[in-house]
Each structure stands twice: as structure tokens, then as C-alpha cells.
Structure 1
Amino acid sequence: MRKTVLVIFSCFLSLLFVPKTYGQGQDKLLGLLKEELAQQMKELKGEEFPPYHMNYRVIDVTSSVVSASFGALMNSQQYRSRTLVPQIRLGDEKLDNFRFNQMGSAMSRFQGPSVARLPLDEENNEDAVRQAIWDEVNNRYKFAVDMYQKTKAESSVNVEEEDKAPYFSEAKVEKYYEAPLPAEKMTIDMDQWAARMKEISAVFKNQPGIMKGDAIMIYTVERRYFVNNEGTEVVQNLPYARIMVFGETKADDGMELPLNLSYFAYDPADLPANDKIIADAKEMVKTLEALRVAPVVDPYTGPALLSGPASGVFFHEIFGHRIEGQRMKSENDGQTFKKMIGQFVLPEGMHVYDDPTLRQYAGEDLNGFYKYDDQGVKAERVDVVVNGKLNDFLMTRTPIDGHPRTNGHARASDGFDPVSRQSNLVIETSNPKTPEELRQLLIEEVKKQGKEYGYFFKEVTSGFTFTGKGGTNSFNVTPLEVYKVFADGRPDQLVRGVDLIGTPLSMFSNIIYAGNDARVFTGMCGAESGSIPVTAISPTILVNKVETQRKAKSQDILPILPAPGTK
């Protein structure tokens, strides 16, 4: 199951190429990583199962978090962590220890994969850094041996795999180095941002029925290191800032009704001013009040409009996860599109591409930006769908038949090994319709199908999808703000309790038109390689048939006591 969540669904980010000779020799950690990798690779070559490939990936994170609720400061902290994940591949490219398990360590139910916590001051603690690396490499090598032996045993008794591509591909040796950001770019003025978050969250004070009213600012600077035994050395900075606003109410029948706002920029100075955010929060309060008394809808099939943010999540979930190539290597994957290259999968005139090198779209900073992926490979734009026809997949160094090379889409968070993941997914059309034309086309489709109304999905928060063969290949997207659009011209009606569901191929075949009003949806996507920043950019789309079901609701009764300040 993959899940995308708004606050959880990327930096003044100025990625300048710094020549290898500038600053790199003074980077103590980079030197330690290279030395340890070379030494451990040499020592392990003498073992019964020597590695044919090794790499180290380090994420050095400095983060500042400020949160407020109903006008009161709740949290203000700055922290830093540095983690290392070694990857050890045994056997050879044709059969290695990653055949049946994409992760290079045992997975704890509560803590996830193992990870090395590195000291933050390598200048005075060089031995401690080397000790932490040594310990984690030992742990992962033992796991690699165990998995390789199991892989050989299972391969000898299993039927031959349909996919004949090897398990690891060649990649260009890369040398890229960025100097550390200056100290003033590493943190924020905590007091200033605390005042801003308190002011924003105070909008929710003294509002009857509002159960949650939070504002959070997060500024993170990631410094990522990657080295491998082939000679690749990549060091890059990824700073980003986010403001998130959460409001929630509860209907009389117990249904919880949340709404979210999200703002993203590379540099905190480029985030919107409080006047803008406060105005948006006040509109949110009005919508929450309307949602609380809005009617609950019954299950429905029929035409619908999906706004840019809604269709962005829609495409991310039901399309994007199915064009992540590495997943198709597994016989357990549904492989929805694996054999459909060159075939129509979307209406003629629609285009889909995924571009991690895209820093902005229509003036907005994008969450999925990076220059090199987590295998040290230079990021590339991938034209996934061209004029409605499937053209390519998002690839890592794990090839599949017909796709022998990586295109820089290996991604992972702390502790996990990278797999194919989306970055900035962009949906465009050669024949865009205006919002007015799309609305009229929706009404015409409603009448054509003999329906009383269609739906307009304005805002969504999350979604999940199943892509394996072990269950139904389905998706579920959670809308927050949904309207009935009546065929007879009555005003649109806000409703609640809607979940958008379906299966991918049938849903794609129901897309009719797309608009000229592309919007950016920013979030974090959780899958087998952890939670990573992503962006989906899509216009409004018209679908001639969607399926909805009733949203599950809480059985808790409403609070007995009135909220403070609302008597």
C-alpha cells in the first residue's frame, strides 16, 4: 500500500555546481566515507560471499519546527541528526541478494530498518564516526549473506522468472559537490516564526464546533552524501520550508471533518505573508462551519470534475505508482502497464512527465526537486505518456525488460534502500478547456446519463493504492471539499462523507477532457522506501464516470462541554 498525505504530499535553494577542487578536500565527512568504503570493500572481498557493489548514503538534517494551536505556542525546537545507510550487494548483476527483498536490512515492526546514527562533529570524533559505520556495515553484511543464500535456494526451486533483465545495471560515474550552506541559511528566527504561527492559529479561537486549529512551520536543510565503490561522489544540499494549517470540526453524527492548507518554498523568506494565510484560514473556518451541517451523500456513479489538486492526487495514486519501474521487477506486482508501451493509456492529446530537475512550475517552488538521486545518478525528465500513449517508466539501477538503464528516480528516506519513486509528476493536455467550458461539459454529461447531478471534487487530502497481485488493484482518494453540481441550474451544494474509489484501467478510460488551469499539490508520499517529498501538477479533469462510497465515521458523541470562549 502506498499512501500520500498533504502535510506529510517539496529551499532559498541555489544549487550551484562547485568544482571538485573547491571545498571538497576540506569536507572531513566525505573523506571518512571514501576511506571506510574502500577499506571495508577490500576486507569483505576476502569473505566467502564478497560484495560486487557497495555504497554509503548519508543524510545530515538540520530542522526547525514551530507550532501553535488556537493562538498558543505549542512547540518550538531545533534539532540535527545524521544517519548513514550502507548498501551491500552480493553475487552479481544477474542474481543478487536484492531479488526477493528490496531492503538491505531486517525490518523492525515499530522502528523500520536499521540505520547508523553518526556523530555530528567528525573533526573531534573521527573514531566514533568510523565505529558507527563499521557497526552498521557488519549488521547489513550479515543480513546480505542470509538473503543471498535464501535467494540462491529459492531460485533453484522456483519457476523461471518472466522478466529476464539483470538485477543491477551500469551507471555513469558522477562527481558533484556543493559546499555547505552558510550558517545564516541553516536556521530561522524561532521567536519571529512563533509569533506568526500564533497569529495564524488564533483565527480558530472562539469558533463554535472547531475541534482543531493548528499552524506549523517547518524549515529543513538536508545535506546528502553518496559514495560508491565505482567512484561516484555526490554531495548536495536540499533546503525547504513549509507552513501547514489544520482545521477540523465534527458533525452531529460523529463524522470528523478536517481541512488543510499548505504552503511551500525553498527559502522561508519566500513563504506567503501572514495576511494571505490568515485570509485563507478564515475561509477555511467558513467552509468547516458549512461542512458540519452539510448533508451526507449516498454511494454514486456518474460524471465528475476533479480540480487540479484533486486530479493531481488522483494521478499520483492510480497512475504514478504504476509507472515506477523497479516495482514491476517483482512477480508479486500487478504490473498494470508493463506491457503497454506504445499503447493508449490516456486520451489522445494528454501528456504526463516526471521531472525531478524542475525547480518551479508557473512560479511555484516544487517539492520533488533534486539533482542526483539516492543511487548517485543524475536526475532526468521522463516523458511517461506522450499524446496519450505510454512511453517510458521511472527507473533505478534495477532494470526491467525493455528498460535497461536508470533515469535517476531511485529515492529513499532515512534507513531505507532506494526504489523507483515519483518526484514532480506533471499532467498536461494539448487541447485544454477553460473552467467555464468544463463546467458546461459536466452538465451536458450529467444530462446525457440521465443523472440529477454530478460532482465537483475541489480539495483532497490523501489517498492510497494497492498495486500487488495479492489483492484487488484499486485506489482510494479522500476528498475534503465536494460539491453537487445540478443539471437544472440550482446552486452547487456542499456535501460530506465521500470517498473516491475505483480500479485504475477503468478510471483512465473514463477521462474525457482536461483544463487550462494547472495547480500544484505538494506533499509527502509513503511507500516501501519511506516517506519522500513529491509534487503533483495537474489541471482540472472531466471524468464521465467516477465511483464513490460513504466515508467511515467516528462513533464518538460530540463534546458535552462547550469549547472555551464560545459560550
Structure 2
Amino acid sequence: MKLSQCQKLIDAMIAECSRSMRSLRAPRHPKPYFISYLVRDSRALSLGARYGSLYLDKSEHRRACYTEVRVGSYGYDQTSKGGLDETQEEQESQELFELPLDTDTDAFRFSLWRLTDAKFREAVARFHGKKSRDVSFLDQNRSLASFQRPVAAKSKAVDIKVQPFAAVDVDAWRELLKKSSLIFKKYPEIKHSYIEFTVEQMTKIYVNSEGVQRAWQEPVYSLHAYFWYHTRRLDQEHSVVHHVASLKELPTLKELTKQIEERIAQYKEVENGESMTSFAGPVLLSARTAGLFLHEVVGHRLEGSRLLSESEGRTFRDKVNQKIMHEDLTIYDDPTMKAYGGQTLLASYPYDDEGTPSQKSLLVQRGVLKGFLTTRSPLKKTGHQSNGHARNQLDERPISRMANLVIESHSKNDWAMMKAKLIEEVKKQKVPFGIILLDVEGGETETDAYNFQVFMGQITRAVKVYPSGRERYVKGVDFVGTPLSSLSHIVAVGEESEVDNGFCGAESGTIPVSTVAPALLMSSLELQAKIPSKITQYAMPLPWF
């Protein structure tokens, strides 16, 4: 987007915001005290190839707006439970957040007018619903303000940073995908595969009734090689994925095909591995696996919006300044970091989706809990300040979310030393073997109060390690556990850290995140059986075999 186009949209947003603050009224109902617009202008490209031929070739320009209208006052408005209970389903505004793609001012303001009016009526209805509930039900957060008042800004109220995105050589990427997708043809074990390249070049424009104007950009480039390894002894889907903020970091054709071949070779070994159904004992988590573990176990539970909902378990609410994990671990989340170890981080941004400047937030220091990720929804009566972690995907209410979660190690244990410590733990516990979790595909956690406080990680590669040091691949299990118990079982921390860029889904949508973590040794972690495959073998081989 050109700077002139951006400024034209900003002027229209300011005009409509000011008009709505002056005139948006309904007799005998609360009036707006705060209005904001967050426009996302996205230009996307999707390419996909399978066995040497393109099957996906699509470009898209999309413009959408998250509009926030708050009625009542900073002390008491329509929001509750940190925004976690809000859903846009069956709301009129859900059908109105798409905006015109041209910069015609009248068409653009017409869309903002309709969307603002719908959001106002929805806010008024929620306000009266909240007042009605207050008559019969106790609100544990009634002493807290609903929204942080504006504070003296350390940064400019007006900050417009828009420049041309990096050019994408679409023809070159089409050829790379077609050539690299041919690699799967030589493997009869691979029953389905594809390679996709996606680009999302996002420009965000934010304006609010407090006089704040921001514009910034968040590009994401992804290369995704998927394959389904399906034989009588192993049924496993896997992806070789690269999510980056710079095109220069994506692998070349030679590098990508090498990565795919190495991963398939590893799965041939997994296929011949031993099947397991359960395990509880010493486990060594690789850096990437440890990152997923701490993302699910700790990260989501330190999202401050969850502390405002009695429907949440709020595991760590009363544990500030208490030790919650190994003293060799410090955790912070820093959206201002653009790279770590020479690799770009996916969740870098100058402002969050409430227009608040991003900042480094210390969460755990030497194993002791120090704080939470916050938005402008106060967590305490006085002195609350957002640390810039309000995030959403599209039209969901922004809640506090992780961005660049960094787990810092104060240990000097390299990988060889961590494996030696695992064997020591096996001998100490007098168990026949331990487990090394080499790679995972994804995970999930439950934070609701009415549900079990558990987490799960999907294991793709793991090995048994015997007291002699001998290793053997195992298959058929995932790791599970409960937060406090699992954290107490961390007994050693690795030195080297690894970056894992990806996407995380929660109440406010699916957003880019990055995790930087070292390896972890746990004295005990539970593994449970995967759901067994129920898919039979194909009646005929692939056409070229």
C-alpha cells in the first residue's frame, strides 16, 4: 500500500470516528466513550504443487476492519470476563467487517458507518445484559475498571510506517514448487503429498477516539511440504514447514528437497520402531519440543485476560513471586524482537491490536513468576498498564496473547550432556529406559475451570534410550500431563536454544507466534497411546509403481 493511499484511509477513519463520538446516540441508553478502528489491508498469494504440477495458483486482496465501540465509561462498560466470552456468531457486525478495496472515501466511510452503528447496538445490548446480571450474580472483577485510561505516551500518538513490501518472483516460486514436489514420486510409502508457498503482506491501520493514529506492516512468508506416510506398520502425516518474516530465509530447491528426503528417511526408521501404548518416567525434550511444552503449559496460562474470567482455571493467579519451575529458566515475551540467532521471529510488531506500543514483558525470572501478558483491561485496581499483547485475527475481540515467547537458559548443558543426564536419571530411578522426544507436530491445552487442566503434544519422532546408551525408535504415543505437576519435574535445562515460528489458535483467532526454547530434562512425563489408524491400504499402488 502506498503512503498516500494509507493517509487517505486514515483521514476517512478519523472523520467517521469523530462523527460517531459526537452523534452516535440512542435515547435512554449509554453513549460511546471510546471508538477505535483497526483496518487490515492484506495482499495474499497462494501457490501449490503436487507431483510436478500446480493445483493452486491464487492471489487475493482483502481489506477488513475490527471496530470497537465501548459504551458507558472507562470504569464500567459492556465488556466482561476479559473479553473471552464474546462471540461474533449471529451478530450483525460479523457480516459487515469486510471493506471496499478501492480508496473511494464515500464507499469506505459508508462501510465504517454501518459497522460502527451495528457495533454500537451490540455494545448497548451487552451493557444492559451485564447490568442485569449484576443484580443476581457476583462479579469478582467489579472493583476493577473496564478499560485502562490513556496514559502519557512514551511514543508518538501519530506514527505512520508504510513502505513497499519485498517483491515476490511468482514464476520462480511456481517452478520451485513443481520441481520439489516431484521428490515424493520415488517413495511408494507416500500416499499423498503437496508443497505450498503462501505470502501474506499485511498493512495495519489503527485510529481511535483518543487521538491515536498508527500504521505498520507485518509480512509472513510460508513454505509447507506435506506428506502422508501410509504403510501397514505406520500411518503418519507430517509437514516440513518454514514460517518466516523475510523471503531470504526460505530454503532453496536443493535445501528443501534435502530436508524432505532426510525426514522421509527418519520415518522409515520410525516405521521399524517399537509400538508403545503408555509410559511414565524420565523424558528428554528437544528444544523444539520443549518450546511447544512451555507454550501450552505456561504461555497460555500467563495470558492476563484469562485472570478476568471465573470460567478459567487461573492456574498462576496467586503465584506471583513464587517459584513455579526450574531456577535455570527465565521467560519473557518480546514483540519488539525482530530476530533471534539470525532467524526472523514471526510475531514482531511495533503496536498491538489496541494500538498500544509493544514491549518486553518479564514473565518468569530464574523460575519465579513475575507477571502476565496484558491488554488495556486492568488486572488490578491501580497502576495497571498494558504491555502491548492485545491481539486478534480478524473481527474477534483482542485478548492478551503470546507473541515472541523466549525461554532463556542459565545452564551450560549441551545436548550430549543432557543425554548423559537422562541416562543418569534412568539409572537413578532403576527403570528400564527413558525417552527422548525429538519432534512434535502440534499441541493443545485446556484452561477452562470446568474442564481438566491438562495439555497434550503430538509426537512425531521419539526414541527409547537404555542405560547402556542404546537407542531405538518408538511410535504410537503422545505426551500428556497437568501444568503444575509437570513443571515440578523439570530437573535439567539445555544451553542451546531453537526458534520455532508458527501459528496459535485461541479465542481471538489464529495468529503468528514464535517460541525460542532450550532442551528440557524431566524426571517424569506421561505418554499415552495415539488414536489408532483405521484407514486400510489402497487396493492398487500409485500409478507410477
- TM-score normalised by the chain length of structure 2: 0.94
Q: 2:544 matched to which residue of 1?
A: 565
The alpha carbon displacement at 1:103 in A equals 6.8
State the identity as a percent: 28
Q: After the TM superposition, which residues 117-156 of structure 1 pair with which residues of structure 2 at under 5 Å, given as runs?
A: 117-122=98-103, 125-156=104-135
The alpha carbon displacement at 1:276 in A equals 1.3
SS in 2 for 1:28: helix
- Contact 1:394–1:420 at 8 Å: present in 2 too? yes
Provide closer, same or farther for how the CA distance between residues 143 and 379 of structure 1 changes in structure 2, counting only shifts above 3 A: same
Deviations, residues 225-275 of structure 1 (Å, cap 9, x unaligned): 11110011110011221211112212426x631222222332323322221
- Contact 2:246–2:344 at 8 Å: present in 1 too? no
The alpha carbon displacement at 1:479 in A equals 1.2
CA distance in 1: counterparts of 2:300 and 2:327, whole angstroms: 21
Number of equivalences: 539
Moved over 6 A (4+): 109-112
Q: After the TM superposition, which residues 15-54 of structure 1 pair with which residues of structure 2 at under 5 Å, given as runs?
A: 27-45=7-25, 47=27, 48-54=29-35
The alpha carbon displacement at 1:431 in A equals 2.0
Deviations, residues 531-563 of structure 1 (Å, cap 9, x unaligned): 100011101110110011001123121111101
The residue type equivalent to 2:202 in the other structure is: E
Provide closer, same or farther for how the CA distance between residues 26 and 480 of structure 1 changes in structure 2, counting only shifts above 3 A: closer
Deviations, residues 421-474 of structure 1 (Å, cap 9, x unaligned): 000111112123111111010011011112111111111111111111111111
Q: 2:157 matched to which residue of 1?
A: 175
Q: 1:396 matched to which residue of 2?
A: 375
Q: 2:268 matched to which residue of 1?
A: 289
SS in 2 for 1:515: strand
Q: 2:72 matched to which residue of 1?
A: 91
SS in 2 for 1:214: strand
- Contact 2:332–2:407 at 8 Å: present in 1 too? yes
- Contact 1:522–1:536 at 8 Å: present in 2 too? yes
Q: After the TM superposition, which residues 208-357 of structure 1 pair with which residues of structure 2 at under 5 Å, given as runs?
A: 208-252=188-232, 256-357=235-336
Deviations, residues 386-407 of structure 1 (Å, cap 9, x unaligned): 1110011100001113771100
Provide closer, same or farther for how the CA distance between residues 457 and 115 of structure 1 changes in structure 2, counting only shifts above 3 A: farther
SS in 2 for 1:540: strand
SS in 2 for 1:117: coil
Q: Larger deviation: 289-298 or 211-220? A: 289-298
- Contact 2:96–2:111 at 8 Å: present in 1 too? no
- Contact 2:82–2:309 at 8 Å: present in 1 too? no
CA distance in 1: counterparts of 2:378 and 2:416, whole angstroms: 45
- Contact 1:163–1:401 at 8 Å: present in 2 too? no
CA distance in 2: counterparts of 1:112 and 1:496, whole angstroms: 47
CA distance in 1: counterparts of 2:182 and 2:61, whole angstroms: 30
Q: Larger deviation: 82-91 or 168-177? A: 168-177
The alpha carbon displacement at 1:355 in A equals 0.4
Q: Larger deviation: 160-169 or 466-475? A: 160-169
Q: After the TM superposition, which residues 165-204 of structure 1 pair with which residues of structure 2 at under 5 Å, given as runs?
A: 165-172=144-151, 173=153, 174-182=156-164, 185=165, 187-204=167-184
- Contact 1:105–1:144 at 8 Å: present in 2 too? no
Provide closer, same or farther for how the CA distance between residues 485 and 164 of structure 1 changes in structure 2, counting only shifts above 3 A: farther
Q: Which runs of 5+ in 2 are unaligned?
A: none
Deviations, residues 26-79 of structure 1 (Å, cap 9, x unaligned): 711111111111111111256522011111111000011111122221211111
Q: After the TM superposition, which residues 461-540 of structure 1 pair with which residues of structure 2 at under 5 Å, given as runs?
A: 461-490=441-470, 492-540=471-519
CA distance in 1: counterparts of 2:85 and 2:120, whole angstroms: 9
SS in 1 for 2:495: coil
The residue type equivalent to 1:477 in the other structure is: G
Q: Which runs of 5+ in 1 are unaligned?
A: 1-21
- Contact 2:50–2:178 at 8 Å: present in 1 too? yes
Counterpart check, 1:81 vs 2:62: yes
CA distance in 2: counterparts of 1:29 and 1:158, whole angstroms: 44
Q: 2:185 matched to which residue of 1?
A: 205
The alpha carbon displacement at 1:215 in A equals 1.3
SS in 1 for 2:316: coil
Counterpart check, 1:108 vs 2:89: yes
The alpha carbon displacement at 1:416 in A equals 1.2
SS in 1 for 2:186: coil
Query: Aligned-pair RMSD on alpha carbons?
Result: 2.2
Counterpart check, 1:551 vs 2:533: no
363, 374, 380: which one aligns with 1:384: 363
- TM-score normalised by the chain length of structure 1: 0.91
- Contact 2:336–2:358 at 8 Å: present in 1 too? yes
- Contact 1:218–1:241 at 8 Å: present in 2 too? yes
CA distance in 1: counterparts of 2:85 and 2:414, whole angstroms: 49
Counterpart check, 1:457 vs 2:437: yes
Provide closer, same or farther for how the CA distance between residues 444 and 404 of structure 1 changes in structure 2, counting only shifts above 3 A: same
Provide closer, same or farther for how the CA distance between residues 34 and 365 of structure 1 changes in structure 2, counting only shifts above 3 A: same
Q: 1:64 matched to which residue of 2?
A: 45
- Contact 2:328–2:493 at 8 Å: present in 1 too? no
The alpha carbon displacement at 1:413 in A equals 0.7
Q: Comparing both chains, which one has the higher relative contact order based on Cα–Cα distances under 8 Å and sequence gaps of 6 or more? A: 1
CA distance in 2: counterparts of 1:186 and 1:368, whole angstroms: 18
The residue type equivalent to 2:378 in the other structure is: P
